Amino acid sequence: MPTGLRKGLTSYGDAGFSLFLRRAFIKAMGYSEDALDRPIVGVTNTYSDFNPCHGNVPDLIEAAKRGVMLAGGLPMVFPTISIHESFSHPTSMFLRNLMALDTEEMIRAQPMDAVLLIGGCDKTLPAQLMGAASADIPAIVLPTGPMLVGHHKGEVLGACTDCRRMWAKYRAGEIDADEIDQLTDRLAPTKGTCMVMGTASTVACMVEALGMCLPGAASIPATHADRIRAAEASGAAAVKLAASGRTPRQIMTKAAFRNAFAVLQAIGGSTNAVIHFTAVAGRLGIDIDLAEFDRLGLDVPVLVDLKPSGDHYMEHFHWAGGMPKLLKEIAPHIDLATLTVAGGTLADYAAGAEDVPGQTVIRSAADPIAVGGGLAVLAGNLAPGGALLKRSAATARLMQHEGRAVVFDGIEDMTTRLDDPDLDVTADDVLVLRNAGPKGAPGMPEAGYIPIPKKLARAGVKDMVRISDARMSGTAFGTIVLHMSPESADGGPLGLVRNGDRIRLDAEGRRIDLLVSDAELAARRAAWVPPPAHPGSDRGYLRLYIEQVTQAEQGCDFAFCLPARGPQ
């Protein structure tokens, strides 16, 4: 098996010439023969002026390169796509699979014995893991890390739970335009990823539970010196990983995914992670059984007290012991024998946990934040392919609820009519948003956090049952049913709901149902007309996306990226 510069030669019909040419060109960069003979560690560069969550990437790359060289390897930095949540049109989810393709093919195309994946903003680590899973060379992840908290008028602020809370206050007339402007200086005060238990933090924690990053790497603040040291250590670990030949397929086993999903329940993490890790597992031919995930939630208590479900932020989680401490607390529910990029097993991570006297961020199993599952998987006639409810961020009294449907036919319809003073809506109604799924929007936007209609918000209504085929930000909160599958644009039953229908949410029974007879539903289905094609969907990436994207329970990956049928 060729290594280093000899890997994956460009095809000229003469392997000797290919290597000669490669060496000749790379020497233009000033490398010596000694350097070029070392094991090569590819380091992804996802720095972008559009991506503040990756603002520390240049510093991390420098430290990672130092780590690679101290361990005797040659670091080679290469660019891939970078995706930031608020700089991605139409959505970052639309671009996740493009980044996965880019990452996979650049790993495969260029000669490297291991790859260090540096990412952080919501879709980047999932995309990088998907690519690395398919390329299957030794790979290690370095999250960019969470930003520090913000402060405003004596309050601690977190992006983006408080972005939404403050915007809701502005909509309700509780704060004015000057204050909302001032908040743009304070909500995201440093480089790094959102510092609540949103999607980025959830994904980073699950990556650590999978064994794909070094212990502690999920939670060290982005701007802290320890993050730089973690980058150096990750570079050194990548060289050892290259020597061991341990690949993602050996680390990301079915048991490792089960561990990651147990952590998702224990942290009350983002619903988006279910889609992302289903996609990563799918690349390895591993099915994620949503019913089993739901059962896992009944056993694994929510132990981490972070916003949006709790009170604290990622830096507090880190100083309370971070993932090693959490793994130790949930040890009875996970398999600590799974392998890691550090060379040992997950038991080593848990064994290294620091006991921090008096900390209240990571609770013990005897004193949980909540039991019964942070995330619930729903079935029912409105979601035959499944749906998710983030119980830990929902209102208890709405968990069992029946109400009248108020339907929005898409995001534009919702934006146009939601705040209309004449909208026929009460606090007991169920807001329905459709045509906002993977194909319908397209790109499955984080529009599931349907704002409370202004007239109700001004009357003090804080939460309502809201259902959609969209996603929501991991930083959002409310009694919100998401990822309803199949999506309405693909013929799902959400497309058959009419204004005034009765809808029942039964969180304990894990059901979301439209209380309309089967005969009536069959008649509506026969008359259903699919929404018109998206402008521009006749060519390019949008065409590929619409033709290939799968539904939420399959991870919204491209169908052609899944293996024919891998090992289970």
Measured from the CB atom, is 165 or 543 closer to ligand FES? 165
3-class DSSP string for 416-463: HHCCCCCCCCCCCCEEEECCCCCCCCCCCCCCCCCCCCHHHHCCCCCC
* Stretch in the footprint of ligand FES (CB under 6 A) among 166-174, 192-200, 205-213, 382-390: 192-200
Measured from the CB atom, is 112 or 200 closer to ligand FES? 200
Shortest spacing between CB 80 and ligand FES, in angstroms: 16
CA distance 172 to 186: 21
Q: Which residues contact 328 (CB under 8 A, 6 or more apart)?
A: 321, 350, 351, 353
Shortest spacing between CB 397 and ligand FES, in angstroms: 30
Shortest spacing between CB 319 and ligand FES, in angstroms: 20
* Stretch in the footprint of ligand FES (CB under 6 A) among 194-202, 210-218, 434-442, 535-543: 194-202
Q: How many residues are listed for the chain in this entry?
A: 568
Confirm or reject binding of residue 200 to ligand FES (CB under 6 A): yes
Measured from the CB atom, is 188 or 209 closer to ligand FES? 188
* Stretch in the footprint of ligand FES (CB under 6 A) among 69-77, 190-198, 379-387, 442-450: 190-198
Measured from the CB atom, is 188 or 433 closer to ligand FES? 188
Shortest spacing between CB 136 and ligand FES, in angstroms: 27
CA distance 26 to 254: 40
CA distance 235 to 64: 4
Measured from the CB atom, is 194 or 432 closer to ligand FES? 194
Measured from the CB atom, is 65 or 312 closer to ligand FES? 312
* Stretch in the footprint of ligand FES (CB under 6 A) among 149-157, 193-201, 209-217, 556-564: 193-201
Shortest spacing between CB 254 and ligand FES, in angstroms: 28
Shortest spacing between CB 314 and ligand FES, in angstroms: 11
User: What secondary structure does DSSP assign to 537-555, as a single string?
Assistant: TTSHHHHHHHHHB--GGGT
Residues 412-451 that bind ligand FES (CB under 6 A): none
| Contact predicate 316/356, CB 8 Å | no
Measured from the CB atom, is 38 or 390 closer to ligand FES? 390
Shortest spacing between CB 193 and ligand FES, in angstroms: 4
* Stretch in the footprint of ligand FES (CB under 6 A) among 191-199, 363-371, 421-429, 514-522: 191-199
**Interface mask toward ligand FES for 370-409; x: CB under 6 A:** ----------------------------------------
Measured from the CB atom, is 315 or 501 closer to ligand FES? 315
CA distance 115 to 130: 13
**Total number of residues binding ligand FES (CB under 6 A)?**
9
DSSP annotation of 304 reads B
Tokens of residue 95, six digits = 């671009």
CA distance 382 to 469: 10
H-run or E-run covering 105: helix 92-109
Measured from the CB atom, is 78 or 87 closer to ligand FES? 87
Shortest spacing between CB 513 and ligand FES, in angstroms: 34
CA distance 453 to 424: 10
* Burial (0-12, 13-18, 19+ Cβ within 10 Å), 89: exposed
Angle subtended at Cα 366 by Cα 363 and Cα 372, rounded to the nearest 5 degrees: 85
Coil, strand, or helix at residue 276? helix
**Which of 42, 44, 61, 85 touches ligand FES by CB under 6 A?**
85
CA distance 530 to 42: 45
Longest dimension (CA), the chain: 76
**Which of 102, 113, 122, 501 touches ligand FES by CB under 6 A?**
122
Shortest spacing between CB 484 and ligand FES, in angstroms: 24
Q: Which residues contact 290 (CB under 8 A, 6 or more apart)?
A: 274, 377, 386, 553
CA distance 115 to 235: 9
User: What secondary structure does DSSP assign to 48-96, as a single string?
Assistant: -TT-GGGTTHHHHHHHHHHHHHHTT-EEEEEE-----GGG-SS-HHHHH
Measured from the CB atom, is 54 or 246 closer to ligand FES? 54
**Which of 40, 121, 379, 472 touches ligand FES by CB under 6 A?**
121
CA distance 296 to 259: 10
Shortest spacing between CB 200 and ligand FES, in angstroms: 4
Shortest spacing between CB 85 and ligand FES, in angstroms: 4
* Burial (0-12, 13-18, 19+ Cβ within 10 Å), 266: buried
| Contact predicate 375/388, CB 8 Å | yes
Q: Is the peptide bond before 221 cis (omega within 30 degrees of 0)?
A: no
Measured from the CB atom, is 314 or 512 closer to ligand FES? 314
Measured from the CB atom, is 81 or 200 closer to ligand FES? 200
Measured from the CB atom, is 51 or 392 closer to ligand FES? 51
CA distance 89 to 121: 15
CA distance 439 to 83: 20
Shortest spacing between CB 150 and ligand FES, in angstroms: 13
Confirm or reject binding of residue 193 to ligand FES (CB under 6 A): yes
Measured from the CB atom, is 121 or 496 closer to ligand FES? 121
Shortest spacing between CB 494 and ligand FES, in angstroms: 27
Confirm or reject binding of residue 53 to ligand FES (CB under 6 A): yes
Place of tokens 């490297």: 112
Confirm or reject binding of residue 194 to ligand FES (CB under 6 A): yes
Shortest spacing between CB 475 and ligand FES, in angstroms: 7
Residues lying near ligand FES in the complex (CB under 6 A) are found at 53, 84-85, 121-122, 193-194, 198, 200
